[in-house]
Amino acid sequence: LKVMGSNDFGDWRRNLILDDDPVVSFHDSRRVHGQGMSGFVQVYANTRHIALDQLRSKCDLASDHVVVAGHSRGGAIAQVFASALYLDAVVPPERLHLVTLGSPRVLASKLSDKVHGKFNQVRLINAKDPVPSLPFRAFGFKHIGTMFCFECGYASARDAPRLVAFMRATDHYLDRYAAWLRRAVGNE
């Protein structure tokens, strides 16, 4: 399941909504798994049935591996989707994979703690990409997954990075992540 990132000014505006919204079940909107950042959770809430129908039409959710991936806003929304797939037991945890690139914190601490490390979760960041350090931890959101950082120079930690000086917005671009991955696998 590939989740698209920001496409227009409206997406950017919604990315900045720091309110909490309930992350509801795929099956029952009265069942709440926890809270997440509104702008990202609302996309999940509005598209969860369509996405689940598409997944079911393309694979056997009980036996196939399911990869949920996204960059930036797409990575944030992917975290919500993957967490709900796990919590609703739609996909067995050993077959569920989350890959995010340059994703912000999106899940409220309680929900993040509930799903962190429970299925395959990989979080890729560039050292000077400002987006993974947002929103600030003081707002109550946390990352999930094992962090791999290009040129960080500090130990991998669940909720790294902190906002550091000299961050560059250009380090957030998807082509920077693609170049890093090509180098990592020896295709450049």
DSSP state of 25: -
CB within 8 Å of 120: residues ≥ 6 apart: 94, 96, 97, 98
Does the annotation mark 72 as catalytic?
yes
How far is it, in rounded angstroms, from Cα 99 to Cα 2?
10
Does the annotation mark 133 as catalytic?
no
Q: Which of 21, 38, 72, 112 is catalytic?
A: 72
| 44 sits in which H/E element | helix 38-58
CB within 8 Å of 55: residues ≥ 6 apart: 1, 61, 66
Q: Which of 38, 83, 112, 129 is catalytic?
A: 129
Active site residues: 72, 129
